[in-house]
């Protein structure tokens, strides 16, 4: 079976972008692939964060995965920091990562610009190397993510090829290893719709956890009233009817796409249904679709959170399984890079 890995940071609340860009797609993939889904807590400390909140946010995120339909009889769910190989491999990989590759990462440039130089941690720069280690440790074939992770995936692929070239093949064999490739080169899986969910208050910027206004996003755990209120106040335009793919109408395109994915209808069905609709009528339709889709997730979330022993067990089992796979890769890397083994 081909393998898939992916993860979400336990920062702020999980929103519709995280769901439509990533988590929702994991659910259908877990039936046909070997899947591992982690909560990337080590990535969550790369910007200033609240240590009092981290472990709670990590559990919440795990519960959301399960509530969204991740099935632990098929997928392994675990916390990144519980599998030590992630950090260890990161160090090894960082010795093969040219600093120029990291300097040109868009997310690094954006986030460091916002924080100001003196507040930028080294970890924000090396963040993509940790992400590469998350993926390469498991010899993953595919990585389902939203569009904003594409560049990080590209770096992961280049790094895998570089390490394979520097240390793999015959060189590795001479060191007593099995030779050949050290890492599988993974491919991103970016969904045709939902890969870039935009803000409710500005159709040209991405929906994000870090945007100051909560009005700009729908969180998976928002109550009915909050959802209704956010949609009521979201940005629209003065055109009549709604349409996809008109560059002058980013809000129309974004909200139609959200409606399409929430209702499970096809793009053509939605385009037809809404082409002559006024914004008022559409907002009611969208609000209902959001509530219908999110409510069952919220009910399951509450159930899961009420049984903390269950969640602990899931995370412990997930970490054990993951560590077995990860350690095997890590051992190969140490060997291929010429380390003295115990």
294's tokens: 């999110």
Calpha distance 142→186 (Å, rounded): 5
Nearer Cβ to ligand TYM, position 172 or 294? Answer: 294
Q: Which residues have a Cβ under 8 Å from the Cβ of 196 and sit 6 or more positions away? A: 17, 21, 146, 147, 148, 206
Does residue 111 carry a catalytic annotation? yes
At residue 90, what are phi and psi to the nearest 5 degrees?
-55, -40
Calpha distance 272→258 (Å, rounded): 15
> In the stretch 151-190, what mask flags binding to ligand TYM with x, by CB under 6 A?
-x--------------------------------------
Taking CB under 6 A as the criterion, which residues in 211-230 touch ligand TYM?
Answer: none
Q: Are 179 and 54 in contact (CB under 8 A)?
A: no
Calpha distance 178→160 (Å, rounded): 17
At residue 184, what are phi and psi to the nearest 5 degrees?
-75, 145
Residues touching ligand TYM: how many (CB under 6 A)? 27
Beta strand extents in the chain (DSSP E only): 3-8, 34-39, 75-79, 142-144, 187-189
Q: How far is the CB of 300 from ligand TYM (least distance, A)?
A: 20
The residue from 3, 4, 6, 46 that contacts ligand TYM (CB under 6 A) is 6
Residue 7 lies near ligand TYM (rule: CB under 6 A): yes
Q: Which of 74, 171, 184, 206 is catalytic?
A: 206
The residue from 34, 88, 141, 148 that contacts ligand TYM (CB under 6 A) is 148
The residue from 4, 40, 92, 218 that contacts ligand TYM (CB under 6 A) is 40
Residue 124 lies near ligand TYM (rule: CB under 6 A): no
Q: Are 215 and 202 in contact (CB under 8 A)?
A: no
Taking CB under 6 A as the criterion, which residues in 11-30 touch ligand TYM?
Answer: 17-18, 20-22
Residue 126 lies near ligand TYM (rule: CB under 6 A): no
CA-wise closest residue to 122 among 190, 68, 70, 45: 45
At residue 266, what are phi and psi to the nearest 5 degrees?
-85, 165
Nearer Cβ to ligand TYM, position 139 or 149? Answer: 149
Residue 257 lies near ligand TYM (rule: CB under 6 A): no
Active site residues: 111, 206, 209
Which spans of this chain sit near ligand TYM (rule: CB under 6 A)? 5-9, 17-18, 20-22, 40, 43, 131, 134-135, 143, 145-146, 148-149, 152, 195-197, 206-208
């Amino acid at each position: 079976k081909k393998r898939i890995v992916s993860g979400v940071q336990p920062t702020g609340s999980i929103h519709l972008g995280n769901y439509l860009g990533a988590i929702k797609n994991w659910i259908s993939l877990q039936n046909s692939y070997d899947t591992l889904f982690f909560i990337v807590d080590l990535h969550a400390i790369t910007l200033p964060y609240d240590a009092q909140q981290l472990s709670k946010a990590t559990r919440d995120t795990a519960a959301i995965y399960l509530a969204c339909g991740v099935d632990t009889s098929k997928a392994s769910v675990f916390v990144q920091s519980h599998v030590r190989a992630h950090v260890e491999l990161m160090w090894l990989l960082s010795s093969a990562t040219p600093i120029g590759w990291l300097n040109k990462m868009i997310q690094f440039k954006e986030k460091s610009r916002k924080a100001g130089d003196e507040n930028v941690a080294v970890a924000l720069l090396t963040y993509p190397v940790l992400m590469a280690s998350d993926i390469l440790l498991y010899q993953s074939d595919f990585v389902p993510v939203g569009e904003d992770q594409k560049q990080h995936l590209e770096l992961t692929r280049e790094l895998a090829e570089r390490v394979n070239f520097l240390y793999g093949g015959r060189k590795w064999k001479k060191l007593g290893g099995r030779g050949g490739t050290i890492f599988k080169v993974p491919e991103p899986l970016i969904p045709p719709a939902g890969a870039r969910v935009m803000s409710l208050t500005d159709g040209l910027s991405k929906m994000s956890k870090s945007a100051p206004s909560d009005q700009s996003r729908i969180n998976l755990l928002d109550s009915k009233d909050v959802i209704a209120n956010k949609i009521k106040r979201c940005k629209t335009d003065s055109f009549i009817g709604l349409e996809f793919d008109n560059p002058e109408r980013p809000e129309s395109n974004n909200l139609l796409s959200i409606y399409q994915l929430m209702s499970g209808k096809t793009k053509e069905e939605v385009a037809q249904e809404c082409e002559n609709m006024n914004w008022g009528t559409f907002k009611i339709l969208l609000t209902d679709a959001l509530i219908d889709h999110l409510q069952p997730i919220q009910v399951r979330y509450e159930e899961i959170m009420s049984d903390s022993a269950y969640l602990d067990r899931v995370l412990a089992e997930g970490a054990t399984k993951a560590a077995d796979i990860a350690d095997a890769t890590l051992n190969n890397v140490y060997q291929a890079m010429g380390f003295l083994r115990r």
